[in-house]
């Protein structure tokens, strides 16, 4: 069912975006911890939708500062919920298009031998996104089995 939804979102976005070439590129700012997974799935997303992804990788706080300073981005994928909350408090995140998508792998305490609670991380479309529909399609693609598999190979789990 999700693949059908992804397909129709991609078709709608493609139909809308064909009027101008620059609208077919998504600017994704993502934390460096997600680089291997994203480098694996971005070409698959492009192949499936025709949308190019400009991937900017770095520390979440540095990327957030760049966005706050006016550097254009469509989708933000930090490794820190605190950074996401700061962006939300500044009105830079479209909260309707924010999705908890990752559970970071837990580290077992040697002393307690107790698994820590999972930490949810969110990706979100930014309020000033120039390519909103394409960013929404990429956000939806992150929930696909292809993305789940890529993130699992890096020790992450997508809910």
Per-residue model confidence as pLDDT tens digits over 28-50 = 999 999 999 999 999 999 999 99
Give dist(CA 26, CA 113) in Å, integer.
42
Q: Say what the pLDDT of residue 119 is.
A: 76
Task: With both helix axes pointing from N to C terminus, report the angle between 60-68 and 81-89 in degrees, rounded to the nearest 10.
Answer: 10
Return all residues near 7 (Cβ < 8 A) that are at least 6 apart: none
Give dist(CA 47, CA 110) in Å, integer.
44
Q: Say what the pLDDT of residue 17 is.
A: 45
More confident residue, 99 or 17: 99
As assigned by CATH, the class of the 2-108+118-153 domain is: alpha beta
H or E element at residue 134: helix 132-141
* 55 CB-contact burial (10 Å; exposed 0-12 / middle 13-18 / buried 19+): middle
More confident residue, 83 or 14: 83
Q: What is the pTM of this model?
A: 0.79
More confident residue, 89 or 115: 89
Question: Under a CB-based contact definition with an 8 Å cutoff, are residues 30 and 77 in contact?
Answer: yes
């Amino acid at each position: 069912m999700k693949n059908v939804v992804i397909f129709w979102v991609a078709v709608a976005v493609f139909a809308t975006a064909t009027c101008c070439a620059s609208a077919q590129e998504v600017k994704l700012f993502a934390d460096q911890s997600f680089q291997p997974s994203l480098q694996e799935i971005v070409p698959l997303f492009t192949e499936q939708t025709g949308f190019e992804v400009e991937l900017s990788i770095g520390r979440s706080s540095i990327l957030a500062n760049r966005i706050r300073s006016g550097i254009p981005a469509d989708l933000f994928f930090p490794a820190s919920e605190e950074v996401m909350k700061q962006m939300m408090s500044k009105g830079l995140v479209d909260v309707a298009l924010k999705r908890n998508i990752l559970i970071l792998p837990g580290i077992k305490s040697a002393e307690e031998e107790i698994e820590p609670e999972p930490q949810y991380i969110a990706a979100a479309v930014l309020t000033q996104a120039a390519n909103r529909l394409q960013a929404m399609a990429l956000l939806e693609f992150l929930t696909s089995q292809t993305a789940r598999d890529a993130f699992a190979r890096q020790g992450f789990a997508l809910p």
